[in-house]
Amino acid sequence: MEELSILVVGSVALDTVETPFARAEETLGGAASYFTTAASLYSQVNLVAVVGSDFPREHLEFWRRRTVDLSGLQMCEGRTFRWIARYHIDMNARDTLDTQLGVYAGFHPVIPGEYRDSELLFLANIQPELQMEVLEQVHAPRLTVLDSMELWIMTARAQLTEVIKRVDILLMSEEEVRQYTERASLVAGVHHLLDLGLKHVVVKQGSYGALLFSADGTFFSAPTYPLEEVVDPTGAGDAFAGGFLGYLSTVTPGPDGQYSIEDIRRGVVHGNIIGSFVCEDFSIGRLRGLTMGHVAERYQILVDCSHFDPQWQFGKSR
Amino acid sequence: MEELSILVVGSVALDTVETPFARAEETLGGAASYFTTAASLYSQVNLVAVVGSDFPREHLEFWRRRTVDLSGLQMCEGRTFRWIARYHIDMNARDTLDTQLGVYAGFHPVIPGEYRDSELLFLANIQPELQMEVLEQVHAPRLTVLDSMELWIMTARAQLTEVIKRVDILLMSEEEVRQYTERASLVAGVHHLLDLGLKHVVVKQGSYGALLFSADGTFFSAPTYPLEEVVDPTGAGDAFAGGFLGYLSTVTPGPDGQYSIEDIRRGVVHGNIIGSFVCEDFSIGRLRGLTMGHVAERYQILVDCSHFDPQWQFGKSR
């Protein structure tokens, strides 16, 4: 079968992250970095982003070895985007201490000609107007996945809605679903989102995993891998997206060009697995040496730990 | 097979609960009330608690119709325990506004002779020293389940530890596991608890459901039923325990008198189901008319929504 390539547009950054237990300075970060590293475990990834002249060459060399195409990566005179954050004792919460946009401030995505037929597209968390610029440049991807954040819900709501209407799958945290839809009920909020034309909504729940709600009325509660130690949860959502689209890039869709709900569910499990690995180290540390053998092993654990008898009946008549 | 009866010791109260959307005054509450009503869907329940002379007779009549034995329910001159609370917008958090102990202040559990051979025991959330008094009075239950709360972790830690060492299964919220074990890692905290001699630890995660960790090294991530509308989450943990032990009361244990891990897992799913129903109304409102048909229907939904292909392989050779 044909090799499906994956296009990602988003931020590449240098992160300084402090947790209650450790600290990492100027490590590779940004949504597109996590996604690219994760998805390139599965297939070729075409990366569109911007970095400054100070961006360490070693990261580029690492990606090139992972079959990442960097011809869409803009290198501009100036400083790379920096993000500085501190996590709370409960690692599901964090504070952003500083954001230095650098060359990202003037970023407009330019999709190289050879990327425009990419079958799978991930619009990582950037301004909705830039996400729309991407959608204007690509041909007809088989599947488009969108991520966003609270900032755009508050400041660019109308543009975000326009983007949502043009994609297949939306990733959103539980709080973001409530903020965007202004509904207290998560389920009611998701129905509102599906009514905008989405095929699926993936609700991210931090260490609690993810819920998949589909336009056909089904939902999927994916098991989560309980980590012995969370070193740094940064990028877990982007790595989830990388595992999700990475897995789907290896699947032959049905005759109608669509992925089955079973394909999508397996993709969510892959997303949870890759997201769990990312949390085991700072930056993309844990993904560097990761193999499909590691992924398969964790997949089997999730199969085992989510199994329960589908037949239930009383042991006595009543 | 024999009928297994279930013994519960805990609080019966009159609750006034305010949510962002509604309010209920002086409704039936207390951990033992939720547990009793839930478990009596499955088998006979023997209730040990205390109520004041103001306790509405209608609740007693309701329980008698549900094959609840009330000979262990002490009725004392004075006021029934009152609890007044307000939920946050995120219904996973609440503030206790007032606690009026009333007759509960002088409560000591007295287990009637005919209750002492109960096979299944739930020690609902009361002072650890009272829980120990119960353990001193019963013979050898097949399975003992313990609940607790932050207050006892902070004020009666040593006594709580003694009780933990004498029971089979501990129910604890994620935060309580961290508080009691003083470990940031949930998994490390659970291992510490299992090392005290528990057979299983059930970690309650509010709307995210429950995780089961077992002394044999396995764990189970139970699917949760996503509610369209949460009216009042009060009592969900106690109703979980009622569904869990209620289900097990219908199961024939193995030749060694032990429940299999598959039995325990099905019990956790029943617990999640009953816990989800409780949230759909104030007090025990939703449990009143509940039938096993309703439970079976939700069980099938959870089977469907947690299923994913256990066989995963690439669609192409690589």
pLDDT tens-place string over residues A297-311: 999 999 999 999 998
E strands, A79-181, in order: 81-87, 94-100, 120-123, 143-147, 169-173
pLDDT of residue A3: 61
Q: Inform me whether the pLDDT recorded for A90 exceeds 90.
A: no
Question: Are residues B308 and A220, on separate chains, in Cβ contact within 8 Å?
Answer: yes
Contacts of A209 in chain B (CB under 8 A): 221
Contact A301, A226 (CB under 8 A): no
Q: For residue B89, what pLDDT is reported?
A: 82
pLDDT computed for residue A52 by the predictor: 98
User: How large is the ipTM?
Assistant: 0.88
pLDDT digits (tens, 9 = 90+) for A243-284: 999 999 999 888 888 999 999 999 999 999 999 999 999 999
Residues in Cβ contact with A182 at an 8 Å cutoff, skipping those fewer than 6 apart: none
pLDDT of residue B315 exceeding 90: no
Closest alpha carbon to A37 in A294, A268, A278: A278
Nearest-angstrom CA–CA distance, B41 and A104: 61
What is chain B's alpha carbon radius of gyration, rounded to the nearest angstrom?
19
Question: Which among A209, A227, A310 has CB closest to B303?
Answer: A310
Task: Fill in the DSSP letter of residue A92.
Answer: T
pLDDT at B318: 33
Question: Which residue type is seen at B289?
Answer: G
Count other C-beta atoms under 10 Å from residue B140's C-beta.
9
Beta bridge partners of A49: A73
Does B211 reach chain A within 8 Å, measured CB to CB? yes
Q: What element of type H or E holds A274?
A: helix A261-278
Which residue is associated with the tokens 């830690």? B157
pLDDT digits (tens, 9 = 90+) for B152-210: 999 999 999 999 999 999 999 999 999 999 998 899 999 999 999 999 999 998 888 89
pTM of the model: 0.92
The closest CB to that of B250, out of A299, A309, A316, belongs to A316
**Both tokens assigned to B54:** 């103001």
Among the listed ranges A60-64, A255-259, B21-25, which one has the minimum average pLDDT value? Answer: A255-259
Mean pLDDT (whole number) for A87-111: 92
Size of interface A-B (CB pairs under 8 A): 123
CA distance A237 to A228: 19
pLDDT above 70 (res A213): yes
In this prediction, residue A318 carries a pLDDT of 33
| Percent of residues, chain B, with pLDDT higher than 70 | 97
Q: From CA B276, how far away is CA B177, in angstroms rounded?
A: 22
In tens, the pLDDT along B30-39 reads 999 999 999 9
Given CB atoms, is A254 within the 8 Å cutoff of chain B? no
Q: Is A316 on the interface with B (CB under 8 A)?
A: yes
Q: How far is B133 from chain A (nearest CA, A)?
A: 32
What is the rounded CA–CA span in Å between residue A29 and residue B75? Answer: 64
At residue A2, the pLDDT reads 56
What is the rounded distance in angstroms from the CA atom of residue A34 to the CA atom of residue A278?
8
